[in-house]
């Protein structure tokens, strides 16, 4: 039982490049979410999904897209990377009110 | 809108000293509150939730609806308690989890 798995763990992008952060969970949780963690800002919700085919915006959605074609996977796409998107990204899946987090992806945009 | 406030960014104490990490919330309904912890180089994990009223690793947190607070306490800090602590709130199952800005607890030997 791997829980929530994020790939890659580290990534460096050039401004304007696009990429997809992968997130997979094997706990059959319906609710999944993406957060970014920045110093002094805590964790801020980017996008979330309450089940396959359903997604919605969180607090800071601009510059990011998501889709949820299966219960297991919830990828986060950066359309055109900007230095302001340099951050640590966490994916989570939830059972009831408890969230289970991935190990994070540290993204640097230069 | 629901909001979670952690007024301090850093708390540094000596081993054996008491610890209180403050958390205040704003929500008009029945809140569900949590403390999450992130140890160095580890993923964020649930420490405790107000519903269970349990003590985890010596930490307790009591929900005070009058003061809208959910402070995390431990009578005697240990070095292994050093970590980032986040207070979080949700309005119910499979609902958005809102985090405070977090506080770094540093326990010195």
Q: What are the tens digits of pLDDT across the range B46-69?
A: 999 887 778 889 999 988 888 999
Interface of A with B (CB under 8 A): 30-31, 33, 35, 40-45, 48, 50, 58, 90, 92, 94, 96-99, 101-104
B49 in contact with A, Cβ within 8 Å: yes
Question: Distance (Å, rounded) from C-alpha B95 to C-alpha B87?
Answer: 16
Helix (H) / strand (E) containing B38: strand B32-38
**Which sign does the torsion angle of CA A80, A64, A89, B1 carry?**
positive
Nearest-by-CA chain A residue for B50: A97
Please say if the pLDDT value at position A63 is more than 70. yes
Q: Do B86 and A42 touch (CB under 8 A)?
A: yes
pLDDT band at A20 (very low <50, low <70, confident <90, very high): very high
Best interface-test mutation with B: which of A97, A99, A100, A105 has the largest number of B CBs within 10 A? A97
Window from A35-39, A60-64, A84-88, B24-28 with minimum mean pLDDT: B24-28
The average confidence (pLDDT) of chain A is: 94
Token look-up 């889709």 returns: A67
3-class DSSP state of A106: strand
Instruction: Among B36, B45, B94, select the one facing A94 at the smallest CB separation.
Output: B94
Please say if the pLDDT value at position B13 is more than 70. yes
CA torsion angle for A58, A74, B36, B27 (degrees, to 10)? 30
pLDDT tens column, B63-86: 888 899 999 999 999 999 999 999
pLDDT band at A18 (very low <50, low <70, confident <90, very high): very high
- Res A19: pLDDT: 96
DSSP B95: S
Question: Distance (Å, rounded) from C-alpha A78 to C-alpha B92?
Answer: 30
Q: Do A58 and B98 touch (CB under 8 A)?
A: no
B99 in contact with A, Cβ within 8 Å: yes
């Amino acid at each position: 039982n791997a829980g929530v798995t994020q790939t890659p763990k580290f990534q460096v992008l050039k401004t304007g490049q696009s990429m997809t952060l992968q997130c997979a969970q094997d706990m059959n949780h319906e609710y999944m979410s993406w957060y970014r963690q920045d110093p002094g800002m805590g964790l801020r919700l980017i996008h979330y999904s309450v089940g396959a085919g359903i997604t919605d915006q969180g607090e800071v959605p601009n510059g990011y897209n998501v889709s949820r074609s299966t219960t297991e996977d919830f990828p986060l796409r950066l359309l055109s990377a900007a230095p302001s998107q340099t951050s640590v990204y966490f994916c989570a899946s939830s059972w009831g009110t408890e969230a289970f987090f991935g190990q994070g992806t540290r993204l640097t945009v230069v | 809108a629901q909001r979670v406030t952690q007024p301090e960014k850093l708390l540094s104490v000596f081993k054996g000293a008491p610890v209180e990490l403050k958390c205040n919330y704003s929500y008009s309904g029945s809140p569900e509150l949590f403390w999450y912890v992130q140890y160095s180089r580890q993923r964020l994990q649930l420490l405790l939730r107000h519903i269970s009223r349990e003590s985890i690793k010596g930490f307790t947190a009591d929900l005070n609806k009058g003061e809208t607070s959910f402070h995390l306490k431990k009578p005697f800090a240990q070095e292994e308690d050093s970590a980032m602590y986040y207070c979080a709130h949700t309005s119910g199952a499979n609902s958005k989890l809102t985090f405070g800005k977090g506080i770094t607890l540093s326990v010195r030997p």
